[in-house]
Amino acid sequence: MKKISLSIIEDNKVIRDNVSKFISFHEEFEIAAVHGTADSFLASLVISPSFRCDILLLDIGLPGTSGIDAIPRILEKCRS
């Protein structure tokens, strides 16, 4: 069975670590990427343009580019 690929963008380290740990307990999921900011995630898409994940857990209140503002930019990068 193919695992569901999941990425997390969360600036709070405690939340980020706990969500990652919780997800790792579930065999049907694999963590593809974990970032503290949307800007960091977007930069990683420039480095690895073929990166894809099935689910993105995105905090909306992030430093720098907010999660809301990042959505169209992430979609643009993932569709190209």
pTM of the model: 0.92
pLDDT in tens, the chain (80 residues): 899 999 999 999 999 999 999 999 999 999 999 999 999 999 999 999 899 999 999 999 999 999 999 999 999 988 76
Number of domains in the chain: 1
CA distance 19 to 70: 21
Asked if residues 73 and 65 have their Cβ atoms less than 8 Å apart, the reply is yes
Domain that holds residue 31: 4-79
CA-wise closest residue to 53 among 20, 5, 9, 19: 5
For residue 49, give the CATH number of its domain. 3.40.50.2300
Q: Which is it for the CA torsion 38, 78, 6, 67, positive or negative?
A: positive
